[in-house]
Structure 1
Amino acid sequence: MSAEVSRYDRRAASRVLAGLAQPGLFEARLPVPDQLRIEYAGTALQTEPNSHLTFSQRLYLERFMRPCRSYQVTSATHRITWTDSSGVPNTGHYRADGLGPIMPIATREATLLLWQAVAANTELAQRISALGPREHAVLAGTTTDHDPLEIFRVGIEATGRALAQHALLARQTPYRSAAEFAHGMHDSGIFAAVATRWYWELQASTYRRGMIPVTLAAQPDGTVRYTAETVATLRAMKDTTIDEAHMVMRRATSAEGLSVPEAIAKYHEDLDLISRQYALLPAGTRPACLAAMPHQLDGAHYSLLPLVVDQFVTVFTQLAARCVLVEVPLDPADELTADGPATAEDQVFYVPDMNCKHCVRTITGVLENMGIKVAEIDLISKRVVAEFRSPRNRARAFEAIRDGGYNPVGERPAQHPTESTV
């Protein structure tokens, strides 16, 4: 096969993914466990004086969410850490006046089960292996993660992220249980609203920080909708993000005379923050999630998003009813007092909310800017190996990573076995 030049084409990339998924993305049926016992530790978020936002939340709001105002943002009240059924450490957020830790925990378990279903789909693997150089070129030129399986994995995780994040607003809805909330979000079209109105980095970064710039309004038919103010603000934030991306590219290609690939290579840090894909959009285009684009396949209308949402809500509802959550004390950290040399164990840590190649670049950049070499970083296990000089150096690096919206975990806790009821 001859090599194809990567090209940016959102509709073509969306059609490639739809064609792979349309015959059956979740054909491999995996059993839902009878019961899952999950231990978690929680801590209250520390907000700034006379504010409902933390320092990290306020900083992100001011730098990257123009023209959103603080009163339009709802913050979590607590952050939790736990180890999922695959043995991977995780972090999440909830509100004390909401649905509690079941939302982020059951969301993670649903994500894992659907990831396993996609990985076990042998027919999907065959379709992916049959893709030609043209299809691979359009994915490479358009998407952050180029491998179709990785793209599907990130899409599934983003679906769960939307569900758990909107649970911070549960008190604005008529839904009083995890299952009711998931079905309410589904019936209200909120997943489609996220895919079409939000931009990717806004959803990922605000989720990691335990905040959401949305207000929900209950409708007479029992559904909920974004308020008009929310719709207008999300649109303004998206337009601002696209304008900033275009400004970077115009400066690089016009004033500096760089080619598009050269501009992306030189300003990758700027464009990572505001989405490289938006920098390449034609003027006047308002992009939606690739999964939300409709296509005609085999003579019928097809969209990938409803398929993923239907499966996610179904699996989430089953798991939420079978999770047994146990709160355990949070171990105090003593890293800040340690100035001795770092041990081999000190070099390894985990970033549970690292979920795509953009996250990998961001975390690597934070560490390298501090003079810390990254020896290994793995998306699947969330494992990072970095050459810290001392435990104190590692603690400071963790604080810098947290300021970037991620929640590093020093060690992988022991895995808790799955328990079945008789």
Structure 2
Amino acid sequence: MTTRREAPAPAVAAGSGSPADYDRRAASRILADLARPGLSRTATTTGPRPVTVTRTPMRPEPGARLTLSQRLYLEAFMSPCRADQVTTATHRITWTDSDGIPNTGHIREPGLGAIMPVAVRETVLAMWHSLHADGALAARIAALTDHERAVLAATTTDQDPIDIFRVGIEATGRALTQHALLADAGPYRTPAEFARGLRDSGIFAAVATRWYWEQQASTYRRGMIAATFETHSDGTVGYTADTIATLRAMKDATIGDAHTVMRRATTEEGLSVEAAIDRYHDELDLISRQYALLPDGVRPACLAAAPHRLDGEHYSVLPDVVDRFVTLFCATVSGIEIIESEDTAAEFTGAADHLFYVPDMNCKHCVRTIGTVLESMRITVHEIDLISKRVRAEFRSARNRHRAFEALRDSGYNPTLAAPDTAP
């Protein structure tokens, strides 16, 4: 990716859910109205329990700091970020959460350990369960007008309010886990202290404004972070000036690329905006369609970060979710006992089982990417379930499955076979 000057966003045609309904401010206000007086207020911890974790060392390329997958992603999508600006995990871990779903995470030693991704996942699950049990939220969603639904459909990736909030909660957990790769360089020495420190330092808000969503998700899946902390005199932490400049340049490059693709599709190729959106999703799946529709000179932040005045008070979804997440995480982390087990390579041997899991599948974009990777290898896909992170596909042999798993790893995902006690 190279940095390009932004091109003006093209004119769009009217129609329900069409690009004409694209309105970031309106979408943000709709989500704020739905979220208030707060999401997942009834979420509770699952109670004390042991969690068995398998730890696997990350293997950088000879003489290098990054793995092959990390280097390829850096070179293709993180310009002008350099390898020396990236902090990478030292180990990949796998475990099964309290919902019986296999998970994958990354940790760096020395650091806060496997407790971080495990406790984050349990916090995410607790908030998700509360979200789905919230009858008042369901009623507010049911009362949305056709126009409000069209705005969400045109402006957001996940479109459905529950899906949007689910992804936002998981993104909060991603930010906490990913920044834990930097924990050893900061002043916080326990997981709870670290979570509260990031909240009080404004790091969650910094991610929402300075990162772009796909870069956070993709680097998280690869166990890397393009950031460095500095400690302030008041004990909080913040990004270094170098980190801020690099994050801005990467975001500007992505917006510029999206505009370039849209301009080419609607002028040189003569496509409608709707057809162009479909076309560049296929060609450049790491570029969100929302960036292609941004007006010239606009640099977007997370929709949840925008403040709104509701019932005479200022309200923003992001700090509300972060406060609840950090509080619940701190209560959860003390009740988890980590038990480490030996690493095995059994998932790549034996019969060509058709059921497997992709623990770091986070959104509908991930579903699309995983399906595209498998189908490009002429593997028939029967099911990709985002909630259970389960995939059913027709592998021709164990070797064919192994090659498919490697291709998914190169795309930033970490597939694993279902454990016997979690298979349906």
TM bucket normalised to smaller: over 0.9
Q: Which residue does 1:418 correspond to in 2?
A: none
Of 200, 204, 214, the match for 1:191: 204
- Mapped to 2, the partners of 1:22 and 1:223 lie a distance apart of 29
Q: Which residue does 1:19 correspond to in 2?
A: 33
Of 92, 107, 118, the match for 1:105: 118
Which secondary structure does the structure 1 equivalent of 2:209 belong to?
helix
Unaligned runs of 5+ in 1: 416-422
After superposition, the C-alpha distances for 1:255-293 in whole angstroms (9 at most, x for unaligned) are 111110011122222342121211111111100001001
The answer to whether the 8 A contact 2:17-2:149 is kept is no
Q: Which residue does 1:307 correspond to in 2?
A: 320
Of 376, 379, 390, the match for 2:383: 376
The answer to whether the 8 A contact 1:264-1:271 is kept is no
The answer to whether the 8 A contact 1:271-1:279 is kept is no
Q: Which amino acid aligns with 1:26?
A: S
Q: Which residue does 1:288 correspond to in 2?
A: 301
**How does 1:16-165 map onto structure 2 within 5 Å?**
16-27=30-41, 29-165=42-178
After superposition, the C-alpha distances for 1:88-141 in whole angstroms (9 at most, x for unaligned) are 000000011110101100000000001111111100000001111001000100
After superposition, the C-alpha distances for 1:161-204 in whole angstroms (9 at most, x for unaligned) are 00000000001110000011001000100000000000001100
- Mapped to 2, the partners of 1:141 and 1:412 lie a distance apart of 39
After TM superposition, the structure 1 stretch with the greater mean CA deviation from structure 2, 33-42 or 372-381, is 33-42
**CA drift at 1:413:** 5.2
**How does 1:314-325 map onto structure 2 within 5 Å?**
314-325=327-338
Q: Which residue does 1:227 correspond to in 2?
A: 240
**CA drift at 1:298:** 1.2
After TM superposition, the structure 1 stretch with the greater mean CA deviation from structure 2, 403-412 or 305-314, is 403-412
**CA drift at 1:8:** 1.1
Which secondary structure does the structure 2 equivalent of 1:381 belong to?
coil
After TM superposition, the structure 1 stretch with the greater mean CA deviation from structure 2, 108-117 or 327-336, is 327-336
Q: Which residue does 1:359 correspond to in 2?
A: 366
| TM-score, structure 2 normalization | 0.94
After superposition, the C-alpha distances for 1:190-234 in whole angstroms (9 at most, x for unaligned) are 000000000001100000000000000001100001000000000
Q: Which residue does 2:16 correspond to in 1?
A: 4
The 4+ residue runs of structure 1 with deviation greater than 4 A are: none
| TM-score, structure 1 normalization | 0.94
The answer to whether the 8 A contact 2:44-2:328 is kept is no
The answer to whether the 8 A contact 1:83-1:414 is kept is no
- Mapped to 2, the partners of 1:297 and 1:375 lie a distance apart of 45
**CA drift at 1:411:** 1.6
CA RMSD of aligned residues (A): 1.3
After superposition, the C-alpha distances for 1:280-334 in whole angstroms (9 at most, x for unaligned) are 1111110000100111111211110000000000011111111011011122237
Q: Which residue does 2:399 correspond to in 1?
A: 392
- Mapped to 2, the partners of 1:216 and 1:335 lie a distance apart of 38
Which secondary structure does the structure 2 equivalent of 1:145 belong to?
coil
The answer to whether the 8 A contact 1:37-1:326 is kept is yes
Q: Which residue does 1:245 correspond to in 2?
A: 258
Q: Which amino acid aligns with 2:208?
A: A
- Mapped to 1, the partners of 2:313 and 2:28 lie a distance apart of 16
Q: Which residue does 1:419 correspond to in 2?
A: none
After superposition, the C-alpha distances for 1:65-106 in whole angstroms (9 at most, x for unaligned) are 000000000000000000000000000000111101011000
Which secondary structure does the structure 2 equivalent of 1:244 belong to?
helix
**CA drift at 1:412:** 3.3
Which secondary structure does the structure 2 equivalent of 1:364 belong to?
helix
Which secondary structure does the structure 2 equivalent of 1:51 belong to?
coil
Which secondary structure does the structure 2 equivalent of 1:380 belong to?
coil
Q: Which residue does 2:6 correspond to in 1?
A: none
The answer to whether the 8 A contact 1:83-1:413 is kept is no
CA distance change for structure 1 residues 239 and 334 in 2, over 3 Å: closer, same or farther?
Answer: closer
Q: Which amino acid aligns with 2:44?
A: P
The answer to whether the 8 A contact 2:167-2:362 is kept is yes
Q: Which amino acid aligns with 1:380?
A: I
Q: Which residue does 1:406 correspond to in 2?
A: 413
Q: Which amino acid aligns with 1:40?
A: V
Q: Which amino acid aligns with 2:88?
A: S
1:207 maps onto 2:214 in alignment: no
- Mapped to 1, the partners of 2:238 and 2:420 lie a distance apart of 39
